[in-house]
A and B are shown apart, each in its own frame.
Chain A
Amino acid sequence: DAKTTQPPSMDCAEGRAANLPCNHSTISGNEYVYWYRQIHSQGPQYIIHGLKNNETNEMASLIITEDRKSSTLILPHATLRDTAVYYCIVRSQTGANSKLTFGKGITLSVRP
């Protein structure tokens, strides 16, 4: 049972911002939004997570809507190395729903 919905793929030009959307309309109050990515043939890599406030780190920004039913991961200046599958995951930090369950993700292709 998918808790998140992502488009299957998108592309963007190198140097431009990549905005990756995610819908999670059934998110519970104690569930966080996580983003991971998997570059081809590598292990998944944690990017960022948040509960309700927008978050920013050295890799990306996470914008969560006020009703928390959707979010956007922003890579401010995409490079070719950002080509990967990006996973949006909803999870609580304790209890039965604390497993990190990966869906199909969105394949981001950054073009030169």
Chain B
Amino acid sequence: DTAVSQTPKYLVTQMGNDKSIKCEQNLGHDTMYWYKQDSKKFLKIMFSYNNKELIINETVPNRFSPKSPDKAHLNLHINSLELGDSAVYFCASSQDRSGVNTGELFFGEGSRLTVL
């Protein structure tokens, strides 16, 4: 019973295409995130949502558009894919306690995107 699940796990596509990665968490958490891990293995935060509201947007190109239909889902849509978008994308979630973000993030297994 996976806590944070992402689909697809692997995605290979051509430059210029549009693709989406879906994320769902069954932990009842309030906050969800997208992180990008590039070929040099640096993990960088892209977005975070709290109760469907965008909280963090880390100067990500506007080709990337997160969408949170409800607090259990945070999807990532990418338009006009570029070679540099090739990376592993991780979804995560965490729970606020008394209005404080505890920083205990639960990560999914990642979605490896390869742009040819």
State the A residues within 8 Å of B (CB).
32, 34, 36, 38, 41-46, 49, 85, 87, 91, 93-94, 98-102, 104
Contacts and interface: CB of A to CB of B under 8 A. Distances in A.
Given A99-B45, A102-B35, 16 more contacts: A32-B103, A36-B105, A41-B110, A42-B110, A43-B107, A44-B92, A44-B105, A49-B103, A49-B104, A87-B43, A93-B102, A93-B103, A98-B101, A99-B56, A100-B45, A104-B42
Nearest to B43: A102
Interface residues of B, number: 23
15 contacts: A32-B103, A38-B43, A42-B110, A43-B90, A43-B92, A44-B92, A44-B107, A91-B103, A94-B101, A98-B101, A99-B45, A99-B48, A100-B105, A102-B44, A104-B42
Contacts of A32: 103
Interface in B34-89: 35, 41-45, 48, 56
Nearest to B56: A99
Contacts, number: 50
Contacts of A49: 103-104
A102 B42 contact: yes
Nearest to A45: B107
B106 A46 contact: yes
B21 to A, nearest CB: 13
Interface of B: 4, 35, 41-45, 48, 56, 90, 92, 99-110
Nearest to B109: A43
Contacts of A94: 99-101
A93 B101 contact: yes
Nearest to A98: B101
Nearest to B44: A102
A34 B103 contact: yes
A85 B40 CA distance: 13
A98 B50 CA distance: 13
B108 A43 contact: yes
Task: List the 9 shortest-distance A-B pairs measured between CB atoms, nearest first.
Answer: A43-B107, A102-B43, A93-B100, A46-B104, A44-B107, A43-B90, A43-B109, A43-B108, A34-B103
